[in-house]
Amino acid sequence: MTVTAADHHEALSILYRMFNVADLIPKNCQARFRGTGDIVLIDEGRKGQTYYRLCPDDWKRVERQLVC
């Protein structure tokens, strides 16, 4: 899915709200709530890819080799 945001922090906040507030989950989406340990990939095309893991206190950037 495409999310428009000013930066990664804003995009992660939008995604967290979207998948943790039942009224905001897209109707055509078979999803579950985001939980601790979930990983999100932000793909910026030529700018590269960044992975974030949801930790108890905030999203933390993780290296790709730790994801696989």
Q: Does residue 1 lie within any of the structural domains?
A: no
Q: Does residue 3 lie within any of the structural domains?
A: no
Average pLDDT over residues 32-46: 83
Average pLDDT over residues 40-55: 91
The token duo for 12 is 């992660």
Q: Does residue 2 lie within any of the structural domains?
A: no
Q: Does the pTM of the predicted model rise above 0.85?
A: no
Q: Does residue 53 lie within any of the structural domains?
A: yes
β-strands 59-62, 49-54 pairing: antiparallel
Residue range of the domain that includes 24 = 8-67
Widest distance between CA atoms in the chain: 35
Residue type, 57: D
Which of these, 37, 29, 35, 33, lies nearest to 19 by C-alpha position?
33
Q: Does residue 21 lie within any of the structural domains?
A: yes
Domain count, the chain: 1
